[in-house]
Structure 1
Amino acid sequence: MRIDKYLWCIRYYKTRNMATEACKKGHVTLNGQKAKPSRDVFPTDSIELRKNQINYQIKVLDIPDNRVGAKLVDIYRKDVTPKEAFEHVELLKYSKEYYRKKGTGRPTKKDRRDIDDYLDE
């Protein structure tokens, strides 16, 4: 089965086109090598893909015939993504919210002085 179709079947991408684009952009690697969308996937292969700033690592257990339900996805793949990857994204989210709320505009004079004091130290 093609790698773009496999990623669509196990619900990592919403459409085949999105999976194909991710492969073309180099976000998907198969056994350590960048994968074209037409590359075949076999059981025991390892896939690494970057999506939403997380590097997912997947072991292929079996090949589905067609797109499977969300409850059945674990039959066909084993997710071996380290927990640190998810924690890193959470920390990024909180650090962005701490400094500036979205939509508050430019930094005020006080904010600028605080930034200057922080950078001088």
Structure 2
Amino acid sequence: MASETSGGDAAGGTVRVDSWIWSVRLVKSRSMGAAACKGGHVRVNGERVKPAHGVKPGDEVRLRQAQGRERVVVVKRLIRKRVGAPVAVECYVDNSPPPPPREAVAPAGVRDRGAGRPTKRDRRELERLRGVLGRKDGPSDA
């Protein structure tokens, strides 16, 4: 296991940010970590960073994930290789806000299984419920 850690207590040690967020299991793959950095979804100490930016113990890493959830972690220990979840949790301090309750997140357009494609009538009812003004194709009544 000594080969998996880079000696987080050693002075001057850094690890690439895309590699570190993959190693501590904040993203599923290193390429997803690099894509998040390139897309501006990763900030280290408040600054947007490139995938090759080095992180060191004490840095604050903010990662914006799907559905607007933001993970805020403080680097506690540097690791270069992906490790098991219990070991990965020991490498950072999680300061993330709690996720919103599941009831607060409204499902977007849930239809019954096997209901098929919505008809025009279904679409009009959905628009009426959402408060969207529909188009008027025919002559006006006024």
Normalising by structure 2, we get a TM-score of: 0.68
Residue 111 of structure 2 is aligned to residue 101 of structure 1? yes
Equivalents in 2 of 1:95, 1:82: separation in Å?
22
Deviation at 1:89, TM superposition (A): 6.5
Per-residue deviation, residues 4-59 of structure 1 (Å, max 9, x unmatched): 11011101122211111111111111111101011110111111111222111111
Structure 1 unmatched ranges of 5 or more? none
Alpha-carbon distance in structure 1 between the residues aligned to 2:129 and 2:117? 21
Report the 3-state secondary structure (helix = DSSP H, G, I; strand = E; otherwise coil) of the residue aligned with 1:91: coil
Matched residue of 2:87: which SS?
Answer: helix
SS at match of 1:56: strand
Identity %: 28
* 2:96 corresponding residue in structure 1: 81
Aligned counterpart, 1:116? 128
Residue 61 (structure 2) aligned to one of 47, 52, 55: 47
Asked if the contact 2:62–2:72 (Cα under 8 Å) also holds between the matched residues in 1, the reply is: yes
Aligned partner of 1:82: which letter? Answer: P
Q: Which amino acid aligns with 2:90?
A: I
Shift of the alpha carbon at 1:105?
2.4
CA gap 1:112/1:71 in 2 versus in 1, 3 angstroms: same
Of structures 1 and 2, the larger Rg is shown by 2
User: Which residue identity is paired with 2:84?
Assistant: G
Aligned-residue CA RMSD (Å):
2.6
- Label 1:66 to 1:119 Cα distance change in 2 as closer, same or farther (>3 A): closer
Matches within 5 A, 1:56-71: 56-71=71-86
- The residue matched to 2:70 in structure 1 has which SS? strand
Separation of aligned partners in 2, 1:18 and 1:7: 10
The 8 Å contact of residues 20 and 80 in structure 2, kept in 1 or not, is answered as: no
Cα deviation per residue 1:75-117 (whole Å; 9 max; x = unaligned)? 111111111xx2167633x432xx5327642255266246436
More helix, by proportion = 1
Find the residue that maps to 1:62 and give its secondary structure: coil
Shifted more, 111-120 versus 59-68: the winner is: 111-120
Q: Which runs of 5 or more structure 2 residues have no equivalent in the other structure?
A: 1-14, 133-142
Counterpart-to-counterpart distance in 1, 2:130 and 2:60: 44
What is the SS of the residue equivalent to 1:29?
A: strand
Please, what TM-score do these two structures have when normalized by structure 1?
Answer: 0.78
Which aligned runs of 4 or more in structure 1 are off by greater than 3 angstroms? Answer: none
